[in-house]
Structure formats: C-alpha cells, structure tokens
Amino acid sequence: MDALRKVLEEVLNFIKPRLEDYQYLSVLSDLVSKSVRWCLEEEGLPYLEVSAQGSFAKDTFLRNDVDIDLFVLFDKGVKPEELELKFVPSIKRCLEARGFRTVIKYATHPYVTVVVGNVEIDVVPAYYVSDPREIITAVDRTPFHTAYITSKLSEKEKDEVRLLKAFMKGVGVYGAEVRVRGFSGYLAELLIVRYGSFLSVLRESENWRPYKTCIDIEGYYSSERDCLKRFRGAPLVVVDPVDPRRNAAASVSIRSLSLFRLCAKLFLECPSTRFFLRPNVVLDEKRLDEVVSEVKRECFESLRGMFLVVHRVLRVSEDVVWGQLRRFERAIVNVLRSSRLRVLSIDSYLDSDSLRAYTFVEVYLGSVKKHLHEGPPATELANAVKFIKKNIRAEVPPWIDTENRLLCIKALNVEDVIQKHVRAIELEFVKPLEIVNLCKEPEHLKKVPMDVLTWIHSSTKKNFFYHLLEPCIENSLRFNRDIG
C-alpha cells in the first residue's frame, strides 16, 4: 500500500494545477469572456448570459491540459441556423479584430475556438433551458452537468478525478470522440461521485460485467434489469444524473472498457507512474532508416503483413470523418476474415490540415500461402458456371463439396484482396487514394509525414503491456509468481 500511495502522490504532484496555473487561466478566461460579451453587444446578438463550463469551471482539469469552455446561452426562440450563420462568423470576425487568433471547429454544430499560447478557449453557442429534458442541442445539457458535479465533489475528490483522468489518458481510453470511443471527462467525474476515489473505481471495475452493468447514481431505475433494458446493447451503462434517458457511457466501446478494466487490475498489482504517462516517441530524419529496418524485420520474423491505405478526406466535422474511417476499418476486417486471415490490428490517423487520412492494417500471414475460396451452390446453374469459368486456373480448380457447394483453392494475395474491396467501399467524405504494401515497399515510409511515421512506428511495436509492467517484471519475484 505504501508503494501505491507513493505512486499516486508522485502523479498528483505532476498533474495538479499550481497556483500560478489558476491565476493565468482565470485571467485568460475573464479576458476572452469580456471580449465575447463586447462582441455580442456590438453585433447585436440577443444572448442571455456567458458562463464558464466544463473541467475548468468544475476544477477537475489537469495541469498543462485544459480547454476552457465559454458557453453563450440564447433564448429558445433563436433559430439554430441563426446561431450557425450569424453567431459563429460574427464572433470569429470580431474577436480577430481585437487581436485574438481563432479557428472554427465542428461538433454537432460549429463553434469558435480562441487560441492563446497553448490554451484553447472554446466559445460555444447553446440554448438556455430550465430542464435538461427540453434541450434543443446536445451541448445544452452541459450547464446541468457542471452544476451537478460541482455540487457533488469535495476538494479531495476533485484530485481523485484528476488521477482517474490521467490514468485513462495514460492507457489510451480517455475521450468520448469517435476516434477514441472511450471515457469522457464527465464520465470520469461521475465514477468518482459514485465510488469516492480513484482506487475504488479501479477495484470496482473488476465487477463491471460487459453488457450487464448499470451504474445508476441517483436510483432512477427500479432495478438493474430495467436499466439494461432501457439501454440495451451498451457495453457499460452509467445513467446520466441530470437526464435519466441518457447513458453517460454511451461512447465507451467494448475494447476501451476491456482495456480500462485490464489496466486497472494490472496497476493494482504493479503500481507505477507508467500507467499515467504515455511514452512520447519522437522520430526525426536521422531515425528513418532505423524505422524502415524495423518494419522489414517485423515482416520477416513475425510473419506479419503490413499495409497502409492513404485517403483523401473532405473538410467536415472530425467526428464525421472518424465515423467513416471506423466504418472503412470494419469493412476491411470483415473482408480479410472472410478470406480466413487474422487481422492483428487496424487503426487510422487523421491529418485535418493536409486533408489526408491513413489506415494501417496488420495481418498475420503465418504459413498461409493459399486460401479456400467458396462459390455458390451447384444448384444455382448460372452462378455456378460463372464461378467455374472464373476460377478454372486456380491452384486447385473448382469441385463440388459434400454440401453441394462449389469450392476451389487459390493462391493468397492479401494485397489483391484489400485492393479489390477498397475500390468497392463507397464513402461520402473519405476517398482511398492508394494502398502500399509496406513489407514490399518499406522505403515508402520515408515519404509519409513525420507524425504519421511516428504513429506507424508505435503501431508496429506490440510492447504496451511490457512497458507498463517492466518495473515489476525486473524487480519483483512476487509479481511473476502472482501472474503465473
């Protein structure tokens, strides 16, 4: 326990904001808030109030990792299209005239982000509602979330939230966006409200049964069964205290839930700061040959096929693009599985500035040289004849099996399989441009942007759990015995 407490104290000293952080952020928030009010009045926009929301207002943010949310609340009589067509461009233009650097970002609706140094201040239009059940846009719930959390968390519990957020970031499950499909900041706060401390959340997570767990803090549902019936199909249900019709954990995928629970158990057995601090791998031009050599070695020694699909993307909401990238990934996985191939990993990278995206696919090839190609039933004459003609030169030409279905055995070419189906996948905002077989063309890695190369490099290394547990593996016989 002493080792555990020591790790938590060390992490908290690193992630908890200092007095000067609060002072600096408060000045920035007040400055931008006053400027936004001035712009609203100058542009004649009939707002009701401007208020700070999110982790900054709740004091659950991490040092050097804070986004300040300023919500501009409007009466429900203002039409959504007015906010989009008038508020966003007017506020952007006015703030830039006052010397601020701004960008327009997109969620459900566009909003303005003011960038000051390394701090981003989001200026978000929303509607003032007296009841969260009357919301017009998704962000209208946010003031209710802020009020609920600030009323529930003590100063000590705010630090517990910080530890939980840092842990989730460290193991890669923090963020509700489609790219991550993990735990939102609000969800992390609710878990501390429910369980009281970071360690309690980790311990209790072992009892979370995927698809069979409902955490109902305010007791809206008469039974867990009723709750699960209402949110059928969700890996984890956490009823939103301010709106019982909403699952605050709706974004959490089964993979993120599994990874969190697994890392929680590992941390309790092997406490280390490594669970909170993801290694920051930085590649440069000098390491290009090293990375190329590593890919060659992994292809040869691990019998892995590595493919990079380069996409052109349209300038729309990142969540929309990520939704289509994830759809593309699922289609490729299904295609490769139908060819009896095991997909080791698949992930994507989005570079919004260059309007390019990249999907990295790893396949285990093993000793697979050929695959069984299944055709139609022999009773379907037209299709059966077509199958025979098309595959007559296969490694083993077509025959009728014991179930009266045509089969043949063909040489396996993973690249051809991917090529064929990539062309068949039609997406509105993501357009595949090329497919690179990195095992055949490893030198192509020298042509991709350095941040993309860094991402590929980290994807090829399967040492995540080793990195987390290395201190215990080297220093603790007890740990090795417990694992065994």
Does position 449 have pLDDT exceeding 70, yes or no?
Answer: yes
| The pLDDT of residue 319 | 86
**In total, how many domains does the chain have?**
4
The predicted model gives 325-351 an average pLDDT of: 89
- Please state the rounded mean pLDDT for residues 356-383: 86
State how beta strands 304-313 and 237-238 pair.
unpaired
Assess whether pLDDT exceeds 70 at residue 287: yes
Q: Let me know if residue 474 belongs to a domain.
A: no
Per-residue confidence (pLDDT) for residue 483, from 0 to 100: 46
Beta strand 430-437 with 304-313 is antiparallel
Residue 400 sits in the same domain as residue 422:
no
Tell me the HSE value of 149 on the side-chain side, using a 13 A CA sphere. Answer: 27
pLDDT at 79 over 50: yes
The amino acid that residue 89 corresponds to is: P
Q: What is the mean pLDDT of residues 167-177?
A: 94
As a whole number of Å, the end-to-end CA separation of the chain is 22
Separation of alpha carbons 263 and 465, rounded Å = 9
| Confidence band, pLDDT 50/70/90 cuts, at residue 138 | confident
The verdict on 309 and 360 lying in the same domain is: yes
Compute the distance between CA of residue 287 and CA of residue 290 in angstroms, rounded to an integer.
5
- The pLDDT value recorded for residue 302 is 78
Could you tell me the CATH number of the domain that includes residue 426?
A: 3.30.70.590
User: Among residues 340, 362, 329, which one has the least CA distance to residue 432?
Assistant: 329
- Asked whether residue 341 is assigned to any structural domain, the reply reads yes
Q: How far, in Å, CA of 61 to CA of 165, rounded?
A: 9
Give the model's confidence band at 296: pLDDT under 50 very low, under 70 low, under 90 confident, else very high. confident
Same domain, 24 and 170: no
Q: Is 192 a domain residue?
A: yes
Give the model confidence (pLDDT) of 178-235 as tens digits. 899 999 999 999 999 999 999 999 999 999 999 999 999 999 999 999 999 999 999 9
The rounded percent of the chain whose pLDDT value lies above 90 is: 61
Mean pLDDT within 67-90: 88
Cα–Cα distance for residue pair 218/183, rounded to 1 Å: 20
The pLDDT, as a whole number, for residue 379 is: 93
Instruction: Give pLDDT, residue 230.
Output: 94
The closest alpha carbon to 52, from 22, 35, 37, 72, belongs to 72
Specify whether 170 is located in the same domain as 195.
yes
For residue 198, being part of any structural domain is answered with yes
Instruction: Report helix, strand and coil shares of the chain as percent, to nearest 5.
Output: 50, 20, 30
Question: What is each CA distance from 11 to 64, 160, 163, in whole angstroms?
Answer: 14, 11, 7
Instruction: Give the CA radius of gyration of the chain.
Output: 26
Kindly state whether residues 235 and 356 are assigned to the same domain. Answer: no
Q: What is the predicted pLDDT for the residue at 392? A: 92
Same domain for 238 and 186:
yes
Angle between helix 198-205 and 254-269 (nearest 10):
110
Give the confidence band of 411 by pLDDT, cuts at 50, 70, 90: confident
Check whether residue 422 and residue 291 sit in a common domain: yes
What are the tens digits of pLDDT across the range 224-273? Answer: 999 999 999 999 999 999 999 999 999 999 999 999 999 999 999 999 99
* 245 phi-psi bin (left φ>0, alpha ψ -120 to 50, beta other): alpha
Which residue is it, tokens 């519990």? 157
407 and 430 both lie in a single domain: no
Q: Are 417 and 361 in contact (CB under 8 A)?
A: no
Query: What is the predicted pLDDT for the residue at 484?
Result: 45
Burial state string for 282-319 with b = 16 or more CB within 10 A and e = fewer than 16: ebeeebeeebbebbeebbeeeebbbbbbbbebeeebbe
Give the domain-ending residue among 214, 243, 275: 275
Query: 460 falls in which pLDDT band (50, 70, 90)?
Result: confident
Q: Among the listed ranges 34-38, 162-166, 302-306, 367-371, which one has the minimum average pLDDT value?
A: 367-371
- pLDDT value, residue 480: 52
pLDDT of residue 477: 46
Co-location of 157 and 214 in the same domain: yes
Greatest alpha-carbon span in the chain: 80
Q: What is the pLDDT of residue 264?
A: 95
The residue among 219, 244, 275 that closes a domain is: 275
Contact 133, 243 (CB under 8 A): yes
- On the question of pLDDT at 481 being above 60, the answer is no
Q: How many residues does the chain have?
A: 484
Position 145 confidence tier, pLDDT thresholds 50, 70, 90: very high
Three-class secondary structure of residue 182 per DSSP: coil
Look up the CATH number of the domain holding residue 380: 3.30.70
pLDDT category, 117, cuts 50, 70, 90?
A: confident
Which residue's entry shows tokens 């083993």?
396
Tokens of 2: 């002493």
pLDDT of residue 280: 72
Domain check: are 40 and 99 in the same one?
A: yes
pLDDT score, position 451:
87
Domain that holds residue 433: 286-364+415-459
**268 is a domain residue:** yes
Q: What distance in Å separates the CA atoms of residue 434 and residue 322, rounded to the nearest whole number?
A: 19
